[in-house]
Amino acid sequence: MPPTISDDTTVRSFTCAQPLGRAGYELIIRQMLHRFLSDLHTTKALLDRSLQATVNHAAGPVRSLLTIITVGFYTLLNWCSLGSYHTTKMISTVVTGLLLLASGCEALPTNQTPLPGKWSTLPNITLNGVEYPRQEHAAALVGDEIFVLGGILPWDGKEYATTNIVQKYNMITGTWTETAPMPAALNHANVAVVDGKIYYLGGLEAVDETYWNATGKSAVYDPATDEWTVLPSMPEGREIGSAATVVVDDTIYLPGGLAYTNITYDQEGTVSRFSSYNVRTQEWTTLPDLPAPRDHAGKGIYRDMLYILGGREFGNKNVVSTVFGFNLTSQQWATAFEPMPIARGGVASATIGSLIFTAGGEGDRRTPTAVFPEMQAYDAATNTWVDYADMPLPVHGSDAVVYKGEIVIPGGGIVTGATLTPVVQTFQPPLPDSGEKSMPLMVMVYRVVFDLPWMLFKR
């Protein structure tokens, strides 16, 4: 028997006589939208009402949960179902406007062991007290402040506007403030922090409404003075955006990336070229090309190896699971690494110890949003992957920083392509075999036991 919605005009519940599959989910959403949207557009009272619909299984406990959350012009359909992938899964579908928040599935009964790690949120990205969604931006950490640089703004009916706005969030005061804007409006900027200063080395510039082209424009920002200094552009022919940017000492590495992207036709100029920039000498170096073109890839550094995880080739549907490693000493690439459990592009990545975390991303064919909820980490010390708790709000096109052992992911897209959110999510990794020690302490112990001998040997 297919699931049906009750005649209750509040649409608070519906039942099904069997566990819901994808077809059942789609039918319910169609019925829900048919009954709900007509009132949504005409009755403002519904915009301030939280509606919850619970799916009951005739032969057992609750198997799934559908939640509708509406506040002002923010609306979310949250679909949670218990699956066999060690944890609950969530499908989010935007009904109208922007995504405000996502409700988790913690209340659902399950006999399965939850995946480790704890998700939380910080205050949403704001500008002058108003929520300010952002996507395809860069994030940087300097001291106790997290900077969100550039990116794109919500669709205004004719184009995805690229911005030069920079905002920072103070982890001590819990407040957002605006800083000096970037000298150039960029999305997919290649951003890195060296000695407390923020560098952007190229990115994508808007040519017209939906076409972005790589530029070599570069600059450095000093948080102490709130001033930008324009730098010489990237070498001609080496301009890129969306590179897997990482820093080692005073050198910024930019492997892969995009030469251009055409949103209308889903065309992307993925590149395999690889360059580095030394902030002391202001010199560019051409390095060996990647084994294959990559953009929107995860990245991380462990010991003497630069890792490129997943990403995509020539379009957001062409996601890959490969892991490449570049040896910074021998200057050679290697490919014999354990691939990602799930091919993903557009992930937010961050490194803690030997673990390179990859969160979200797009290309998920299991959901209408095509955005992955998975948080997984590559352990570079063991060449293995570890599963962690899914993101409450799956996003792509974001960035991540690590603050005192906690991963912070501001904004991002909640539907494949460009549908922005101001939500800032944080992830606290679990403490191995411990419930008392702090994460920074565990990282410090790990580095003393495992990394210090290697560092001394290297010297």
Using CB atoms within 10 A of its CB, is residue 50 exposed (0-12), middle (13-18) or buried (19+)? exposed
Distance CA 77, CA 31 (A): 13
Q: Please tell me the least confidently modeled range out of 31-40, 88-97, 202-211, 305-314.
A: 88-97
DSSP structure class, residue 282: T
Question: Which amino acid is present at 70?
Answer: T
pLDDT reported for residue 157: 62
Tell me the mean pLDDT in the region 82-102: 32
Tens of pLDDT along 247-277? 999 999 999 999 999 877 778 899 999 999 9
Instruction: Quote the Cα angle for 362-146-213, to 5°.
Output: 50
Distances (CA, A) of 222 to 82, 225, 229, 254: 48, 6, 8, 21
Edge-to-edge strands, sheet with 305-309: 298-302, 305-309, 323-327, 332-334
- Secondary structure of residue 120 in the 3-state scheme: strand
The arithmetic mean of pLDDT across residues 366-374, rounded, is: 86
Q: How far is CA 249 from the centre of its chain?
A: 25
| Residue length of the chain | 459
Q: Where does 41-120 have alpha helices with state H?
A: none
Task: Tell me the C-alpha to C-alpha distance, in Å, between residue 194 and each of 132, 143, 222, 279.
Answer: 27, 12, 10, 8
459 pLDDT higher than 80:
no
CA of 50: how far to CAs of 46, 74, 95, 104, in Å? 8, 11, 14, 14
Q: List the domain boundaries for the chain.
A: 4-114, 119-428
Mean of pLDDT values over 393-399: 94
Q: pTM here?
A: 0.73
- Assess whether pLDDT exceeds 60 at residue 78: no
Summarize pLDDT for 359-369 with one digit per residue, the tens: 999 988 887 88
Beta-carbon count within 10 A of 229 CB: 12
pLDDT at 104 over 60: no
- DSSP for 437-455 reads S-HHHHHHHHIIIIIHHHH
DSSP character at residue 46: G
Any idea what DSSP says for residue 391?
P
Q: Is 296 helix (H, G, I), strand (E, B) or coil?
A: coil
Residue 432 has a pLDDT of: 60
pLDDT in tens, 118-176: 999 999 999 988 889 999 999 999 999 999 999 998 866 666 789 999 999 999 999 99
Q: Which residues contact 380 (CB under 8 A, 6 or more apart)?
A: 300, 302, 303, 305, 307, 354, 355, 356
User: Which DSSP category does 27 fall into?
Assistant: H
Q: 113: pLDDT confidence band, cut at 50, 70 and 90?
A: low
If you classify domain 119-428 with CATH, what class do you get? Answer: mainly beta
Whether the per-residue pLDDT at 317 is higher than 70: the answer is yes
Confidence of residue 374 (pLDDT cuts 50, 70, 90): very high
Q: How far apart are CA 305 and CA 299, in angstroms?
A: 11
